[in-house]
Amino acid sequence: MRVLAATKGVEGEGFNPPDAGDFNLPPFIEGNVFATKPILLAFLSVLLIATFFILAARKAAVVPSKLQFAGESVYTFVRNDLGRDVIGHEFMRFVPYLFTLFTFILVNNLFGIVPLIQFPTMSRISFPYVLAAFTFFVFHYVGIRRHGLISYLKGIMFIPGVPKPAYVLITPLELATYFLVRPLTLSLRLFANMFAGHLLLLVFFLGGEHLLQGVIGLKLISPFSFAIGIALTFFEFMVQCLQAYIFTLLTALYIAGALADEH
């Protein structure tokens, strides 16, 4: 313990690999727990998204400008691919929610590779938790409104065409899936992807920087570490888009499932 503490204290002595502590950003206003980088980024993302879409929609014309075209592409993608194709004829009611969810997660994920910001908000687990809680309430609310509380729960608990004793085995599983596993996997998948991605980038960039301070042989290896880091940045871009897509897609699928006549 003493030895560890001693080596950690000496500057430039040994490489301190990035760990979960690197996600613990202290508040920048002393004592104010709300003044942290992730919260600031969440607000910034809302500001950016709102500005972008207001500007894109303001001078709407039949022949769209580039900005309008970009805004409409995102909107059309969410409305058609995630709303209409998944939910069916009632999809318009849910497009605002799906659209907000998709853009919010996407921009906050992309913050992970935007220079100078470089922190994915969703790698702090509270954000995915809250988003999953919203989805949880939305799809259950929709299902209860559609079927009534009793028959909604019945639809979840009892699949038709199963011998009665088997319900003892599978009804707990159905309940756990709908009320526990769904929100948990939804939030943890997003969190874990963002957390791991950020950690990976930290390892290669901090590692490259550390190698640069070593002997000549290590200095020669350092560019490779940076090169892998840059390649991983592009990979991360893909993961970040994919995770925003999957979160929204699963939300749409859950809503569609709650609306369907039989579960």
Partner 1 sequence: MAPRNDENAFWTIFGYLLSGLLIWGGIGYGLDRWLGTGFFLLGGLLLGMGSSLYLIWLRFGRN
Chain contacts with partner 1 (rule: CB under 8 A): 85-86, 88, 159, 161-162, 166, 169-170, 172-174, 176-177, 180-182, 185, 246, 249-250, 253
Task: Return the H-helix or E-strand segment holding 243.
Answer: helix 216-259
Angle at CA 240, nearest 5°, toward 48 and 112? Answer: 60
> To the nearest whole angstrom, how small is the minimum distance from the Cβ of residue 133 to partner 1?
17
- Cα–Cα distance for residue pair 204/206, rounded to 1 Å: 6
Residue number with CB closer to partner 1 (126 or 177): 177
- Cβ of residue 180: shortest distance to partner 1, in angstroms? 7
Residue number with CB closer to partner 1 (51 or 76): 76
Query: CB 102 → partner 1: shortest distance, Å?
Result: 15
Nearest approach, Cβ of residue 170 and partner 1 (Å): 5
Helix (H), strand (E), coil (C) string for 166-195: HHHHHHHHHHHHHHHHHHHHHHHHHHHHHH
Tell me, rounded to whole angstroms, the distance of Cα 201 from its chain centroid. Answer: 17
Q: How far apart are CA 169 and CA 17, in angstroms?
A: 46
Q: How far is the CB of 85 from partner 1 (least distance, A)?
A: 6
Q: Which two tokens stand for residue 8?
A: 């950690």
In the bound state with partner 1, the residue whose beta carbon lies nearer, of 170 and 199, is: 170
CB closer to partner 1, 133 vs 176: 176
Contacts of 124 (CB under 8 A, 6+ apart): 23, 38
Cβ nearer to partner 1, comparing 185 with 213: 185
Q: With respect to partner 1, which residue has the nearer C-beta, 8 or 93?
A: 93
Q: Which amino acid is at 84?
A: R
The H helix count followed by the E strand count for the chain is 10, 0
Of 57 and 181, the one with the shorter C-beta distance to partner 1 is: 181
Min dist CB 197 to partner 1, Å, is: 20
**What gap in Å lies between CA 226 and CA 218, rounded to an integer?**
13
Report whether 253 contacts 86 (CB < 8 A): yes
Residue 194 and residue 240 in contact, taking contact as beta carbons nearer than 8 Å: yes
Work out how close the CB of 47 gets to partner 1 at its nearest, in angstroms, rounded to a whole number.
32
Structure token digits, residue 138: 């939305």
Nearest 5°: CA angle at 159, between 259 and 254?
30
